[in-house]
């Protein structure tokens, strides 16, 4: 079946540090992959997505590359800001369903 | 340009009672999803509507849970004989892209259900 395994948090970084949040998946067929973000007090919103192998999704300085060979979709950002503090969810779209990871809480300190 | 709205934002009910949770999707979005999110977990798929029909209800945990979308817009999630284990945040999302799960979903703020 389909599932997503996400790096556990919480993660605390200093401003301008490099961020990686690991995500691996198990899927049948050819799923689409997503990162969603939930800022404090707000609803889930799409951060970026990739719909096929080797695609790179990017937004707001964040990037993730769909790696079929390693079944991964790791989220990266070169220099985090305090405003990036949020919970990040990796997700997989397969069939009619979306499968979410457990979320990784990121706190960026000045 | 309203987003997805959900009512109520909070619901406290006693064990054994019946509850209804409402979702108003973005106008024109044909796809609608319900999820349940327990503390410290990611959203768990419950049901997917395409138009008025439930295209996939395989995530509903048991027959106490039921959802409708009679006119292809507003949806109601209904839980009978609530149990303490049903306590969670119930999320609704809509999408303009039907069919395979490739499109962006727009999430509502959720309804926090507490069963005492």
- When the pLDDT of each residue in chain A is averaged and rounded to a whole number, the result is 94
Nearest CA in chain A to B90: A43
Looking at residue B99, its pLDDT comes to 61
Res B101: pLDDT: 66
pLDDT digits (tens, 9 = 90+) for A31-51: 999 999 999 888 899 999 999
Confidence of residue A29 (pLDDT cuts 50, 70, 90): confident
Alpha-carbon radius of gyration of chain B: 13
d(CA A42, CA B41): 16
Tokens standing for residue B46: 């419950």
Give the other-Cβ count within 10 Å of A8's Cβ: 13
pLDDT tens figures, B63-114: 999 999 999 999 999 999 999 999 999 999 999 877 656 678 899 999 999 9
* Nearest Cβ partner for A44 among B41, B44, B107: B107
Reported confidence tier of residue A30, pLDDT bands at 50, 70, 90: confident
- Across the interface, which of A4, A32, A42 has its CB nearest the CB of B101? A32
A60 SS3 class: coil
What is the per-residue pLDDT for B100? 58
Whether omega before B55 lies within 30 degrees of 0, making that bond cis, reads no
Mutate to test the interface with A, among B25, B42, B109 (most CBs of A within 10 A): B42
* Structural Rg of chain A based on CA atoms: 13
Q: Do A96 and B91 touch (CB under 8 A)?
A: no
Cβ atoms B110, B8 nearer than 8 A:
no
In this predicted model, what pLDDT tens digit does every residue of B58-77 receive, in sequence order? Answer: 999 999 999 999 999 999 99
Bridge partners of B115, per DSSP, are B13
What's the CA gap between B100 and B97, in Å, rounded? 8
The mean per-residue pLDDT over the stretch B14-31 comes to: 96
User: Measured between alpha carbons, how far is B48 from B93 in angstroms, rounded to an integer?
Assistant: 9
pLDDT attached to residue B1 = 53
pLDDT mean over B32-40: 93
Q: What is the rounded distance in angstroms from the CA atom of residue B109 to the CA atom of residue B107?
A: 7
B101 contacts A93? CB cut-off 8 A:
yes
| pLDDT tens digit sequence for A51-67 | 999 999 999 999 999 99
Mean of per-residue pLDDT scores for chain B: 93
Tokens of A65: 């590359």
Per-residue H/E/C for chain B = CCCCEEECCEEEECCCCCEEEEEECCCCCCEEEEEEECCCCCCEEEEEEECCEEEECCCCCCCCEEEECCCCCCEEEEECCCCHHHCEEEEEEEECCCCCCCCCCEECCCEEEEEC
The DSSP H or E segment spanning A62 is strand A62-65
Say whether pLDDT at A97 is over 90: no
pLDDT surpassing 80 at residue A10: yes
The predicted structure's pLDDT at residue A9? 84
């Amino acid at each position: 079946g389909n599932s997503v395994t996400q790096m556990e948090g919480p993660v605390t970084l200093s401003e301008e540090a490099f961020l990686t949040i690991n995500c691996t998946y198990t899927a049948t067929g050819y799923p689409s992959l997503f990162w969603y973000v939930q800022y404090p007090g707000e609803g889930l919103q799409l951060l970026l997505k990739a719909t096929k192998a080797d695609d790179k999704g990017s937004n707001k300085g964040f990037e993730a590359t769909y790696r079929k060979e390693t079944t991964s979709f790791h989220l990266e950002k070169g220099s985090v800001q305090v405003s990036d503090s949020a919970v990040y969810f990796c997700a997989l779209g397969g069939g009619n369903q979306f499968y979410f990871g457990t979320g990784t809480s990121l706190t960026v300190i000045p | 340009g309203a987003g997805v709205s959900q009512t109520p934002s909070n619901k406290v009910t006693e064990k054994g009672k019946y509850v209804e949770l409402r979702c108003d999707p973005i106008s024109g979005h044909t796809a609608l999803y319900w999820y349940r999110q327990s503390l410290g977990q990611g959203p768990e798929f419950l049901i997917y509507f395409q138009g008025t029909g439930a295209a996939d209800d395989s995530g509903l945990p048991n027959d106490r849970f039921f959802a409708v979308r009679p006119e292809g817009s507003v949806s109601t999630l209904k839980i009978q004989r609530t149990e303490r284990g049903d306590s969670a945040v119930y999320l609704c999302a809509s999408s303009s892209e039907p069919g395979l799960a490739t499109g962006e979903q727009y999430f509502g703020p959720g309804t926090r259900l507490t069963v005492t």
